[in-house]
Structures are given as C-alpha cells and as structure tokens.
Amino acid sequence: MPATPAPLSGLKVLELGQLIAGPFAGRLLGDFGADVIKVEPPGTGDPLRQWRMLHDGTSVWWQVQSRNKRSVVLDLRTGEGRAGVRALAREADVLIENFKPGTLEKWGLGPDELARDNPGLVMLRISGYGQTGPYRDLPGFAVVAEAMGGLRHLMGEPGRVPVRAGVSLGDTLAGLHGVIGVLLALQARARDGRGQVVDVALYEAVFNCMESLLPEYSAFGAIRQPAGSALPGIAPSNAYRCADGQVVIGGNGDSIYKRLMAAIGRDDLGQDAALASNAQRAARADELDAAITAWTVQRPVGEVVATLQAVSVPVGRIYTVKDIAEDPHFQARGMLQDATTPDGLALKVPGVVPRLSATPGRLERPAPQLGQHSGQGFGDE
C-alpha cells in the first residue's frame, strides 16, 4: 500500500539562500514533502558544508539542514547562472533567498522580474533588517538580531555581560516565521492566483517573541532586566541546585505551588494566604527560591524529579545532548532519526516536527552532495 502523500507534495521550492535562516525554512518545507532544489555556488557550495564538526570534509550539520533537498550548482554572477535560476523560477511555487537586500535586483532576479514570467511565485526574502527601512543595507547576522530584538539584554545574570544561547536563535526564528509567511501566501494564492513577497527580518522575528516587553514599557516605563535563570514576575519558577546537579521547577500555578510546598515540607508557605496569588509570590520570589533550594540541595536530581513528578509539579533535569540521545521519550516520539552520509557514516538527526496525524512529514532523501542534481528541474529524479 503506497504511503500517504505528504502535505506539501507537489510544491516546488527553489532555495537560493545560504547558511542558516533561508535553508532552515527550505528544510522545513522539504520535511513535509516539498520538492526543494537548492542552488549552490561552484567551488565549495553553501558555506554550511564546512561549519563546525566535519566528516570526510563535510559538516554533519549539513545532513540535517539539507535533508530532503536536491543540489544544483549555478554561478549567479554569470549570465548563464542567472538564466538557469530564471528557468527554475518559472516552474517554482516558492523561491527562498537570504541575500543582502538589493542583491537579486542587481542580478535581474528581483520579484518584479520573476513575477513577469511566473505571477504566482511566492518569494520568501529573509534579511537582517528587512527589505525596507533605514537599516536595510546593513549586514545583519543572528547575533545582532538577537541583540536588537531585545532578547540578548535579558540573557544572563544581572550586572554581567549578556550571554548567547549557544545556537543561532535569530536565524531559526526567522526561518520559522518565513515558513508561516509562505504558507499564508500560498493560501492567499489559492484564492486569487497571485504570488507575493514574504519579507522577514531577523530582528523582527526575535522581537515578535518578546512577550510583554513592549507593553510593559509603554504602560509603566518598565525596562525588564536580566534575571539569570528566573523569570521576573512569575514565581516560583527557576533552576535549582541539587546534591549532584541542577533541575528546573515550574511551581507558579496556584494549586501547583501548594503541592510543591507540601512536597518540600513547607506547608507554612503553601497555605499562607499572603502567597496565594502569583503577584504575591512574585514579590517574595527570593524567599521562595531559598526555601526550595534548601530542600533540593540536600537531594540528588533523581530524587527531586521523582518526588515532584509524583505530585504533578512540573520539574526536569537540564539535559545535555547525551541525555537527549539516551532518553526513552525522545526515542518513543521518533525524535532521533537515522541518517547515513554518502560514505556510510551512520548518524542520528532530529525527527520531523510538528507531528501530523494523517499526513506526517518524513525523511525522503539524504542531504545532497554538491551539484548532485545539476541539470535537473522540478519533477526530475
């Protein structure tokens, strides 16, 4: 019996982007069945091929970022390369690019030019600051976008230099917003047949996730400050030291808070009417954190987790990737998928999310070698 077609089966995507944000969007579309043709420059191809840890000269990250894609080599700085892109764009439903604004226009590949041949083309453009505005021509990487979007200021301990998350959140958030924009534009095209430009700025994707930051400033002049592992205004919710490690505990719901205090032997705090609401607890967050720490620091992580899980208090160990790879829940949910490099190296790669019950995404093809599919068009195999 043939497999159920993926939800984006038949969708034709032309990916011109490099590194993280644009290719991450292309990967997500490919995971759900889109035919993604990735255009790479001659020579070394997408620089991501050489980033971080390499096997046989290619990054193992490449096996994740470029799965379910095909690779075509075209030099966009030449007339022949640009003609190849125009030919592919005529067949495409979606084009993804994350060059500096104005670059495609300089090459005669801007949205106006491409729309003349393909009025239904949806064009996802990801850049540091967007296609308009006074900063549009500035170079923009995720590290800058996270700072400008308000995230970096909140990360770290009070009074110390802000830290970064250790992954390129700005790029990933921009890619996710890009996919949302593409799907919205395709829905609109289904009604009127017209394509459009999806303009995603890295800093705006970050800013869109900043929750109450702006309205709190607008209403009260409040400028939220970094608070380490705590979340200001929400208590108790923090990371806590144990005898052999750390855990995170979210005890901020009113009933959860009472169960947490009972579990740690502090019913006096749990039943205190002056701590019945989150606003009251937030004003005494340091006191509550100290009480919780006094209990956790005397116990190993396993005991803390088991005790609090038994009374339905959200709690968890702080995972390393080793913990992830060995965790039975990750395994049961299919989040640790098998992949193989061209020379036979077996890898684990992240599974496909989100999970769809009837038309799930899947890994159909491994990440391509450079130019492996040159000369092919959409629908060719």
Domain range enclosing 308: 237-319
Asked if 187 and 54 sit in the same domain, the reply is yes
User: Span 15-43, mean pLDDT?
Assistant: 97
Asked if 191 and 106 sit in the same domain, the reply is yes
Asked if 271 and 308 sit in the same domain, the reply is yes
With b meaning 16 or more CB within 10 Å and e meaning fewer, what string describes 305-324? Answer: bebbeeeebebebeeeeeee
User: Span 68-75, mean pLDDT?
Assistant: 97
Asked if 91 and 177 sit in the same domain, the reply is yes
Is residue 298 assigned to a domain? yes
Cβ neighbors of 113 (< 8 A, separation 6 or more) are 86
Is residue 217 assigned to a domain? no
| pLDDT of the residue at 343 | 87
Annotated catalytic residue within 35, 93, 171, 289: 171
Instruction: Give the rounded percent of residues in the chain with a pLDDT score beyond 90.
Output: 93
Confidence of residue 1 (pLDDT cuts 50, 70, 90): very low
User: Span 198-214, mean pLDDT?
Assistant: 97
Confidence of residue 380 (pLDDT cuts 50, 70, 90): confident
d(CA 304, CA 316): 9
Asked if 193 and 99 sit in the same domain, the reply is yes
Is residue 287 assigned to a domain? yes
| 171 in active site | yes
Instruction: Give the rounded percent of residues in the chain with a pLDDT score beyond 70.
Output: 99
User: Span 213-231, mean pLDDT?
Assistant: 95
CATH code of the domain containing 305: 3.30.1540.10
Residue 183 pLDDT greater than 70, yes or no: yes
- Name the domain count of the chain: 2
Mean pLDDT of the chain: 96
Asked if 296 and 187 sit in the same domain, the reply is no
| pLDDT of the residue at 212 | 95
Confidence of residue 290 (pLDDT cuts 50, 70, 90): very high
Neighbouring CB atoms inside 10 A of 284's CB total: 17
d(CA 81, CA 369): 19
Is residue 271 assigned to a domain? yes
Is residue 7 assigned to a domain? no
